[in-house]
Every structure is written in structure tokens, then in C-alpha cells.
Homo-oligomer: A and B are copies of this chain.
Amino acid sequence: MIPPRTNRQVRLKSRPNGIPQAEHFELAAADLPEIADRQFLVRNEYLSVEPAMRGWVAAVANYSKPVGIGEVMRAFAAGTVVASRHPEYREGDAVMGLLGWQEFAISDGSTITRKVYEKDLPLSLSLGVLGLNGVTAYFGLLDVGQPRPGDTVVVSTAAGAVGSAVGQIAKLMGCRTVGIAGGPVKCELARSAFGYDEAIDYKAGGIAEALTRACPNGVNVYFDNTAGAISDAVLAQLAIGARVVICGTASVASWDPPPTGPRVERHLLVKRARMAGLLVFDYQHRYEEAIARLAGWVRDGRLRYREDIVDGIENCPGAIAELYRGENLGKRLIRLSHTN
């Protein structure tokens, strides 16, 4: 190919307190330099949008250094190597990694999460069910949640990119699954597309009563993507020995200062329950193990997924806020159309 001259990028313009909005980003064009020795050029085809991005731009300490003002927004992306001076990456290789919200990325390999080997499946899946969403669901449920056949597994944001996989993996493990989602459309999706035995619309009110009906023997595993009032309701109905997987806190707008809620110690004590946080990056050495199994289930039709793809990099700036407003039905991705 003829190397592109410019590279459109979405950069962090100002630091949000809370959920990043469109105005915190700006779209700009940069010159694309020549690749150096041991570098390669990736043409991004899909850019990912995920709840964790809120943490990546927050000023408060988090897993990783905050994205700097003026820097390309940190993001996972999937694309194809279009030029390489690196011995381990060849033109035509499909890759997924922290390639940023931009059309092209130059990498020395350190930003690559993995090469994508599932060439029979859409590349976009490497950012969703066969990417960190799927891997998060897999290890969060199996390693942290430790479900046993017959357990009741409750999942918040049940129709989301992680939650939809959690529910289906739990069913594959012989569990009964109860999904919590916002609104009748997502609840119907949870049941019909993702096989939840029950779905509870938290926006309809009466979540405590609905949980009691759906979980007559209590909650053995709670896979929590929301925190907040939904968790308060679920924690009150834990079974003895329950495991709570803290995967995300989507319902909490800001942790600076941390919001208050009912204290959890008594639930944990009386029920001898466990709450544990999950960070998927801790499982980096085991990604391929999870993805191989997830891909097998996808090929068999036992693990379904849903994508919500929009075209054009200009949709990036507002995408995190949309995600937190719950407007997408399926994994939110930005697709880039390249003319060269």
C-alpha cells in the first residue's frame, strides 16, 4: 500500500470529573511518521468503547497512568498490519491492542494485546466476546465467582458486553441465571438472546421483591457491573457462602469523593460471603486459554453476542457517555472505513 500521510485521532482535551462527555475530546489530524526499525503500522478497523475508559481519563489514581491532556485517547482497537519492519509482525497479521482512538497506530509490539488467530470469525469479536469483555466474563465468573452446578448466578448489566457472556457461561456451567438490566428491551434481550432464566428490570421498581421471587434460595454468585442501588438489593439476598465479583461500577457517576451506601460488612459476616475485585489484566498470561474456549462456544452457537457498530471516528468523543446512558444494545464499536 501507499503509506497514508495523515492520521485522524481523537485526543483528550480536558479532564472530566465523572463520566467523560463529547466535549472532553477533540478530533485532530496528525502527520504519520515513517516506521522505524522494529516497528510496524496498524490500520485500525474497529475502535472499542468501554466503561473502563472513564477510569483511564480520571485524575484519581487507578490501575494505570491517566491519559494526558492532548494525548490520543487510550483505547483498544483491532486492525491489520499494513507495513512492518518488525520480525514478529507481518503485513496482513490481524492484531488487537491498546492502539488508541485513531485511524492508524505505529507499534513496536508493546501495545499489542494479542494477534487475532480466529480468522474464520469477524475481527470485531476480538474487541468483544473474544476480547477483554469475554475474557473478563470468563475469569471473573469461573475464577473469582467459582460457580457450582445448581447455583443461582445474578448478573447486573446482564445484556451488556460482559454480562451477556457471564450469563451464558454460567448456564454452560449448569447454573440458574438471573439478569438485571435497564428497561424491557434489554430484559427481553437477556432472556431471548442470552438465555437468562429470569430478567429483572431495575427501572421498573420493586427490585428487592423481584429478586426474592427469582432467587428463592438466595444468590450464590453475584457478578456486579454496576455497584450502587442494584448491588444494595442483591447483597441483601446473598446465600451462605456467596461470592460477589466486583467487575465494574457503572451506576456510580463519580468516586471522588466516594458515594455512601449501606455498609456491607454484616451481609458478608452473617452469610460468610466474599466480595472480590477483578482486573482482567491480571489474567494476561491466560488470555489464550479463555479465548480458545470462548471461540469454540461461539462456533458451536452456544455463546451468542450482540454488537452495536457505528461508522466513523467522529462518533468516538460522545461514545463513553452514551455507554453510561445505556443507549447501546450490544458491544459498542466504532468502525473505520479506510480509503487507502
Contacts and interface: CB of A to CB of B under 8 A. Distances in A.
A275 B277 CA distance: 9
A262 B265 contact: no
Interface in A239-263: 246-249, 252, 255, 257-263
Interface stretch (A19-27, A109-117, A181-189, A266-274): A266-274
A37 interface: no
Given A273-B277, A276-B273, A263 B265 contact: no
Contacts of A260: 260-263
A278 interface: yes
A135 to B, nearest CB: 15
Contact of A272 (B62, B227, B262, B278): B278
Taking the full assembly, how many copies of this chain does it contain?
Answer: 2
Nearest to A238: B277
Interface band, chain A: 35 or more
B275 A227 contact: no
Contacts of A62: 270
A264 interface: yes
Nearest to A231: B265
B262 A266 contact: no
Contacts of A275: 264-265, 268, 274-276
Given A272-B282, A276-B274, A282-B272, A255 B248 contact: no
Interface in A190-248: 224, 227-228, 231, 246-248
Nearest to A262: B258
A294 to B, nearest CB: 22
Contacts of A264: 264, 275
Interface of A: 61-63, 224, 227-228, 231, 246-249, 252, 255, 257-279, 282
9 smallest A-B Cβ distances: which pairs?
A268-B277, A269-B277, A274-B276, A258-B262, A227-B265, A260-B260, A275-B275, A246-B268, A261-B263
